[in-house]
Structure 1
Amino acid sequence: MHPDIILLAGGTDGGEAKTILHNAVMLTTSSLRVPVVVAGNKAVGGRVMDILRWHGMDARLTENVMPRLNALNVEPAQQAIRQVFLERIVEAKGLDRAEAMLEAVAMPTPAAVLAGARLLADGLADGEEEPGWGELLVVDVGGATTDVHSVAEGTPTRSDVLYRGLPEPRLKRTVEGDLGLRVNAPSLLAALGEARVRRAMGVDGHLDLAALAEQLSQEVGRLPQTDEEWALEAALGRGAVELAVARHVGRLEELWTPQGLIFVQRGKDLSRVDTVVGTGGVFAHHPQAWAMLRGAVADGRDPLLLAPRQPHLYLDRRYIFWAAGLLADHEPYVALRLLKRYLVRET
C-alpha cells in the first residue's frame, strides 16, 4: 500500500486518547513518509504532532472529525486534505505550473463533482439568487471507479424507524474502487457474477465474458465494436450503478420488540430523494444510458434498501458536471446555470 496522504483520527475531544497516541508512534516506525492530517482528540493533538514531527514527518493538525459522540465534523479535515493535495501531489505532477499559467484551480475530479452536486442541490442565496433542485444523488461511472455523491440529510422518513450507528454527513461521497468499466472491468464482472451479466445481456454461455473484461482492462481506450460488446458495456454499467448505489445508501433492519415489529435504520435514507443525475463517459455516449441510470432506483426486490424510489432522472450528456464543479468556487451562478441548462431529463 502506497498512500499519498494519511488521515489520523481517534477519540472525541477530551475522551479516549491512548489509541491515537499509539497509532502515531506506529506510524513513525513504518516506512511511510507521506503527509499526515491529524484530526482526532484535540486534548492530545499537540502531543500527536510532537511525536510525528520529532521523527521528521509532515504533520498537519486540524479539527476533530468527531468532537462529540455521534457528531461529525468532517469539513475541516477535507479542507486540510485538499490543501495537502494542492501542495504536494499537484506540484509533484507539474500541475502547479499549469494552474499558475491558466489562473485556475487544480482539483481532484471526485471533489469537483461533489462541489457541483452541492451547488445544484442548494442553489445560491447570496448576491445572485438562483434556486437549487433540492436533495439529490449523483452517480459518476468511470473506467476505474464508480463514485456516488449525495446531498441529503438522510434521516428516517418513517415513524416506525429508529436510527442507529454513526450519523451520516449531509454531503457524502463514496468511491467504489472495484467497480470500473475499463481498468477494473474484471473485478466489476466478479462482483456482479457472470450469471447476472449474462441475464442482463440476454446471451447464453458461449460468450467468454472473462476474456472480454480482461481485454477492456488492458485496452482502456477501446470502444465497443460489436452488438455483444455494446450489450456487455450496458450490463456492466447498469450493474456498477446498482452496486455502488446500494453501498452508498442506508438500509433497514427488522427488529421484533414486545410492542411488535420496528425497523432500525443504518446509513442514509435516500428513498425520497427527488433527483438522480448520471455523469461520466458512459452516460454521455452509450445508447443505453437511461437503462443504466435506472439501476440507481429502488426496484422493490430489496424493500429494506433505502435507495431513491421515484426520482426524476437526468443525464450529463455533454459531460460538464465536473467542469461546473470546478467553476463553482469562482463563478457559482454561471456554473449552476450551466448545470440546469444542459442536464437532460428523462421524458
Structure 2
Amino acid sequence: MSDPQPGSVGDSAAAAVCLDVGSCWTKAVFVHPDGSPAGFAEHPTTPDVLDGVDAAVAAAAASAGRGARSAPDVLACSSAGGALRLVVVGAEQLASVEAGHQVARSAGARVVGVHSGPLEPDGVRELAGQRPGVVLLIGGADGDDPAVLLHNAGRLARTRGRYPVLLAGNATARDDAVGLLRAGGRTVTACANVVPRPGEIVPGPARREVAELYARHVLGAGGDAGRFSALARTRTPLAVAAGAAALARLAGTGVLVVDVGSATTDVHQALPAGATEPDPALMTVEGDLGVRAGAEGVLIEAQTEGVVDPVEADLLAPTVAALVSSGPAVPGDRGAAAEDRRLAAVAAVVALRRHLRHTDRMAISGFGGFGGFGPTASGPSGAVPGPDADRDIGLVVLTGGVFRQRDPAGLAAAAATVHRDPVLMGPLTQVDVRVDSGSVLAPAGLLVRHGREAAARALLAEQLLG
C-alpha cells in the first residue's frame, strides 16, 4: 500500500507525531493540526526498532502536554538500515578499489571491503566478517580471460550468507557467471561491465542497481517487522525530499537540502515548479559520510577535497575514532558539541560538491552542468563562476539531528562553512544558507505525503522562513 499523494485528501483535523527512525536516533515531532510544533523527543534507535519508536512517540506526546488523552496519528519514515555495506570482489586490486568507490558514490552505499584475485577460503571468511549488504563482483575487461571471474562466482555461490551479488564484470562470461551463482541459490543481478576496457571505469549502470538495493535496504526492520513495515512505509530520504519540494513551492525559489545523518549524508534538490513527487535524479545519498558510523569517511573525503588541512585532520582524528564506536551519543560538553557541528558542516560541504558534480544538469543557471566542480576543475578552487548562478537556487538548508543544538553562534558557523567554501562559493554567493534547528523538514515531508499540505506549509513557514 503506497502513501497518500500530496493533495489526495484534505488536511486532517488530528494532531500528528511525525517520526523519523534513523540508524542511531529515533526522532519525534508533535505537530498540531494547524502545523504548529508542540513537542519534540528523541530516543536511541533500539535493536527491536519498535521499542525506541514507542518510547519516542510517548515522550513527544507528553512533551506536548497530551498526557493520557487520545493518541495522535503517527506518521513515520525510516532510514534505520543505514548505509548499504558493499564488498567488492574483483580480479585486480587498483581497478577493484576505484570501481567500488565510484559505484558506491551517491548511491547510498559504503565500501567496507575489497578482495582481488581468486577468492580462497581465508578470503571468504574475511568477506563474511565484513557483513556485506551486497557483493559487487567484477573482473576483467570485455573479452579478457574470464577465469578469475568464474572462479569467484563459483566460490560466492558456495558460501553462506544471504547477501545478493551484483555482477558487473566481463560481458563474455556474464551468462556463465550468473548460472554458477544461481545454481548455488545466490540472488544475482547482472548489469554492464564496470571496467569494459583496460583503464576505463563506467560506474553508471552498477550505481543505479546499488541505489535500488539501498532503497530496499534503508527502511530497516527489527522485532515485529510486520508492524514496523506497516508503520514506516516511507524512506527518510523521500520524506526529506518531499519537505524540500514543499519548501521550494512555499519560498518560490529552488532549494538544496543537506540532511546530515549518523550513517549517510543526503542532498535533495527541488525547484518551485518541480513535480510534487521527489525526483530520484535530484537526490544523492552518500553512504560514506555521516557523523557517527560514517565519520571516518567524512575525514578522509574532507582531506581528499581539501576542505580540511592536515593539522585539523590530526586534531579531529581522535574524535572521529570515538564517534564511530559511540552510537547514539550526545556531546558531553561545549567542545564536543563544536566538534560535532564542525564534522557535520564538513560532511555537508563534501556532499554538496558531490551532488553538484553528479546531477549533470543546469539546476543553477550559468553552469554547463555540474561536471566542472571540484579540485580537478579549472581555477585554483575548482569553482566555475557564472553571472546568474543564483537564479534557480535561492536557499540551502542544513538539516539533521546534529543541528538541533541550541547554539545560534555555532549553527551560524556551520552555515558559514558551507557558504564560504571556495568550490561552492561561485554558485552559492547570493544564496541564503539556513539551519533546520527544529528538525522539521522530514516531518513536513511526512505531512505532505499524507495529504496535509497546509499543515506542512505552516510548519515550514514558522520554522524556516519566519
Equivalent position to 1:290, from 406, 412, 418: 412
Distance in 2 of aligned mates of 1:340 and 1:220: 30
Does the 8 Å contact 2:264/2:286 carry over to 1? yes
Shift of 1:173: 0.9
Please give the TM-score of this superposition, normalised by the length of structure 2: 0.46
Deviations 1:124-171 (A, max 9, x none): xxxxxxx6755321112233443333347xxxxxxxxxxxxxxx9741
Q: How does 1:249-260 map to 2 (within 5 A)?
A: 249-250=356-357, 251-252=372-373, 253-254=377-378
Distance apart, 1:222 and its partner CA: 4.4
Deviations 1:179-209 (A, max 9, x none): 52x45556645643463479xxxxxxxxx75
Partner of residue 276, structure 1:
396
Structure 2 SS opposite 1:314: strand
Q: Is the 8 A contact 1:194 1:209 kept in 2?
A: no
Does 1 or 2 have the higher relative contact order (CA < 8 Å, sep 6+)?
A: 2
Q: Distance in 1 between matches of 2:353 and 2:323?
A: 25
CA separation in 2, counterparts of 1:340 and 1:97? Answer: 32
SS at match of 2:266: strand
Which residue matches 2:185? Answer: 56
Identity of aligned residues (%): 25
**1:339–1:176 Cα change, 3 Å:** farther
* Aligned counterpart, 1:319: 439
Structure 2, unaligned runs of 5 or more: 1-129, 193-201, 272-278, 358-371
Once the two structures are superposed, residues 39-89 of structure 1 have per-residue CA deviations (whole angstroms, 9 ceiling, x without a partner) of 99xxx99988655433312246899xxxxx999898897556534666xx5
Where do residues 1-347 of structure 1 align in structure 2 (5 Å cutoff)? 1-5=130-134, 26-30=152-156, 31=159, 33-36=162-165, 52-59=181-188, 78=211, 82-83=215-216, 90=221, 93-94=222-223, 96-99=225-228, 103-118=230-245, 120-121=247-248, 133-151=252-270, 170-175=281-286, 177-180=288-291, 182-183=292-293, 185=295, 188=298, 191=303, 192-193=308-309, 195-196=311-312, 210-250=317-357, 251-252=372-373, 253-254=377-378, 273-287=393-407, 288-299=410-421, 301-302=422-423, 307-326=427-446, 328-331=448-451, 333=453, 336-337=456-457, 340-345=460-465
Change (3 A) 1:134 1:18: farther
Q: Size of the alignment, in residue pairs?
A: 286
Distance in 2 between residues matched to 1:219 and 1:52, nearest whole Å: 38
Query: Deviations along 1:21-45, whole A, 9 cap, x unmatched?
Result: x9688445324642356899xxx99
What amino acid sits opposite 2:436 in the alignment? D
Aligned partner of 2:88 in structure 1 is none
Distance (whole Å) between structure 1 residues aligned to residue 336 and residue 355 of structure 2: 28
Counterpart amino acid of 2:187? Answer: D
**Structure 1 residue runs without a partner (length 5+):** 11-15, 64-68, 124-130, 153-167, 199-207, 256-262
Aligned Cα root-mean-square deviation (Å):
5.1
Q: Distance in 2 between matches of 1:244 and 1:307?
A: 15
CA 8–197 in structure 1, closer or farther in 2 if over 3 Å, else same:
closer
State the Cα deviation string for residues 287-309 of structure 1 (Å, max 9, x = none). 1213212322255x448x76533
Contact 1:249 1:307 in 2 (8 A): no
TM-score, reference length from structure 1: 0.58
How much has 1:227 moved relative to structure 2? 4.3
In 2, Cα distance between equivalents of 1:144 and 1:316: 19
Question: How far apart are residue 319 of structure 1 and its match?
Answer: 1.4
Residues 260 and 266 in structure 2, CA contact (< 8 A), matched pair in contact too: yes
